[in-house]
Structure 1
């Protein structure tokens, strides 16, 4: 089984689910998951987790993401992007300076109302399913953060910008909200995700490239291991007495490493167990995420470490 994370370039027209399905066929394994949905019309970085790496899916979903988007002023659609049905068209009578000031005003913590055309669930039903039935319900605004917004070009009615934001942010809603604030409405013309945490667009692979590398036996060279994802954490090699406890995924009363509450936990023989967090009140390290499996502790596996 292949374990780790691969940086896939999701092309236009594919859903994130399509990417996972194609990769299952390419690598011939079922245990695969993606790290955050991209709309079918959007493209760009989609880290995909394989094998033991699937435990990282929720962790990567929480990471900062960077996008490059084009805002089309003067048009409002039901989906908040250009693929939707036009609700109204307005004259664009704003200056470049007004646009710049408005866009930059969104930097920081904001409250954002999720769009109806989204995969969020309400009482077990996805919002976009309700929207397709012509049903619109009230949505609660959610806190999001725009860490950085940089305008790349203004050629009215088009505004191209890059934005780094928190999880759960809808860039098409940002485009809509900018249009509302400017008084001329707006929608998203295009969207490319350029970064998710350490995964950059210039390092991403199209599915066709991943398939070719798999056939050549070189795909593993482009994988990021689970351990690499946590290389910023200090490593703690537990005493031999704790080997059985670690094998069973239990907490261990190891001496605390002061520079970090979280550590990469290893057995004394070098088996990577997972991420552990210091519990001050109990004086021990408690598992946060276990990535080892029983076969990792077999004698022949330890001998190779």
Structure 2
């Protein structure tokens, strides 16, 4: 069983807990251990799309991590928490009398590319330690900003002190930080009340299976839901190898190819079957990176 599953994560469970539940269910159905992973965590309190890798697809995680994301998020103005979300402790309260039109202008001003500082409670590593581990000890070393892009941001609802937005952003964008930044610009602070991931690349939560429903599915049902590795890697250009060259690729050999593409490609045989991932260098030498057969 190899491929990608789209699962709708419920609120108030960790991403790892979700993966372990899926793994146990697959073992129950098949009678054997099957590797299961994910391509990007969601916060404990958040819900929405998780792209789950199964079997050999767990070796492809890195290629999915750079995909754009889409979220809907609700913030509450006038309060700041230490985690920038509802799980944290309220560390400051402020009066907030901002007009709706002014709030709209502030929100829309974030449609841009800019350096964003990750929240103190995040999985970023600092000298080998996770930022959240240091934050729990009362240590708050300054995290390095990362350049992120907000491709689109829309206001879905304003019911002060609450506001709800939809965000299409680059990988690595922290919505908790975005909500706080919006709050900072209003002068009264804000934190995330609700967060839901709706898209990863072209994968949509509308096509995802609810975790509870997944745990009731048969092996046949799951295979029907499984997206092949070839189809899941829609964002990579492909190259098709002639007979004998496919064998050389599977043996890890490098060789020259005719291709208009350069960089990372998915490699197919003449039957259109995925052999793995390769890199076409500037001199048109194909270098095997991942052999999947």
Normalising to structure 2: TM-score of the pair? 0.92
How many correspondences in the alignment? 288
Identify the residue that residue 274 of structure 2 maps to in structure 1: 272
Structure 1 residue 4 corresponds to structure 2 residue 7: no
Matched position secondary structure for 2:256: coil
Q: Distance in 2 between matches of 1:154 and 1:270?
A: 50
Please give the residue correspondences for 1:84-163 in structure 2 after superposition, counting only pairs within 5 Å. Answer: 84-163=88-167
Instruction: Classify 1:238/1:148 alpha carbon distance in 2 versus 1 (closer, same or farther; 3 Å).
Output: same
Counterpart selection for 1:245 from 231, 236, 248: 248
RMSD (CA atoms): 1.8
Spell out, residue by residue over 1:6-52, the C-alpha distance to the aligned partner (whole angstroms, 9 max, x if none): 00111111101001111110111341111111110000000110111
Matched, 1:31 2:32: no
TM-score by length of 1: 0.88
Taking structure 1 as reference, are residues 252 and 75 closer, same or farther at Cα in structure 2, changes over 3 Å only?
A: same
For 1:105 and 1:150, the matched residues in 2 are separated by: 11
Cα displacement string for residues 233-257 of structure 1 (whole angstroms, at most 9, x for unaligned residues): 555332323243122122232322x
Q: Mean Cα displacement is larger for which, 265-274 or 95-104?
A: 265-274
In structure 2, how many angstroms separate the alpha carbons of the residues matched to 1:234 and 1:83? 41
Equivalences for 1:207-286 in 2 at 5 Å? Answer: 207-214=211-218, 217-231=220-234, 235-256=238-259, 258=260, 263-268=265-270, 270-281=272-283, 283-286=284-287
| Shift in Å, 1:279 | 2.2
From 73, 81, 89, the equivalent of 1:69 is 73
Q: Distance in 2 between matches of 1:275 and 1:198?
A: 20
Long gaps (5+) in structure 2: 28-32
Q: What aligned pairs does 1:280-299 form with structure 2 within 5 A after superposition?
A: 280-281=282-283, 283-290=284-291, 292-293=292-293
Cα deviation digits, residues 169-210 of structure 1 (max 9, x gap): 111111111111110111111100001112211111122211
**Partner SS for 2:133:** helix
Query: 1:255–1:284: 8 Å Cα contact kept in structure 2?
Result: no
Per the alignment, do residues 24 and 97 of structure 1 end up closer, same or farther by CA in structure 2, a change over 3 Å counting?
A: same
Q: Report deviation, 1:57.
A: 1.3
Larger radius of gyration: 1
Is there any run of 5+ residues in structure 1 with no aligned partner, and where? 294-305
Contact 2:79 2:90 in 1 (8 A): yes
Question: What displacement does 1:133 show?
Answer: 1.4
Displacement of 1:137 in angstroms is 1.5
Q: 1:26 touches 1:214 (CA, 8 Å); kept in 2?
A: no
What is the CA-CA distance between 1:272 and the residue it aligns to?
A: 2.2
